[in-house]
Amino acid sequence: MLDPTVLIFLTSGLFLGWSLGANDAANVFGTAVGSRMVRFTTAALICGVFVVLGAFFSGTGAALTLGKLGSVNALGGSFMAALAAGLTVLWMTKLGLPVSTSQAIIGSIIGWNLFSDSYTDISSLLKILSTWIICPLLSAVIAALLFTLAKIFVRKIGVGLIRMDGYTRLALILAGAFGAYSLGANNIANVMGVFVPVAPFPDLQFGQDFSVSSAQQLFLVGGLAIAVGVFTYSKRVMMTVGSELMTLTPLAAWVAVMSHSIVLFLFASERLEQLLANMSLPTIPLVPVSSSQAVVGAVIGIGMLQGGREIQWPRIYGIVRGWAITPMISCLLCFIGLYFLQNVFQQEVQRESHYLLSTRVLEKFQKEGIETTGLNQLSDSTFSSSAELVSAVSSIVPLSSQQGLKVVEFSLQNSLLITQEKIASMDKKGLSSIQLDALNQLQGQTFNFPWQLGDSLAEISSEWEVRGGGVKNKLHDRKIKQKLAYLYRNF
pLDDT digits (tens, 9 = 90+) for 306-358: 888 888 888 888 888 888 889 999 999 999 999 999 999 888 888 888 999 99
Find the helix or strand (DSSP H, E) in which 383 lies: strand 382-383
241 secondary structure, DSSP code: I
Mean pLDDT of 204-222: 72
SS3 of residue 370 by DSSP: coil
Find out whether 58 and 185 touch, Cβ atoms under 8 Å.
yes
Task: Give the DSSP per-residue string, 459-484.
Answer: HH-GGG----SSHHHHHHHHHHHHHH
- CB burial of 388-397 (b: ≥16 within 10 Å; e: otherwise) equals ebbebbeeee
The pLDDT of residue 417: 92
Q: Which of 228-242, 305-319, 425-439 has the lowest mean pLDDT?
A: 228-242
Mean pLDDT of 164-174: 86
Looking at residue 393, its amino acid is V
Decide: residue 208, CB within 10 A, 0-12 exposed, 13-18 middle, 19+ buried. Answer: exposed
Residue 155 to residue 142: CA distance in whole angstroms: 20
Beta-bridge partner residues of 206: 210
The pLDDT of residue 26: 65
Other beta carbons within 10 Å of 37: 24
Mean pLDDT of 184-212: 70
* Predicted confidence (pLDDT) at residue 242 exceeds the cutoff of 60: no
Between 4-34 and 291-305, two packed helices, what is the crossing angle to 10 degrees?
A: 10
The pLDDT of residue 330: 95
The pLDDT of residue 392: 93
Look up the pTM and report it.
Answer: 0.82
**Residues above pLDDT 70, as percent of the chain:** 89
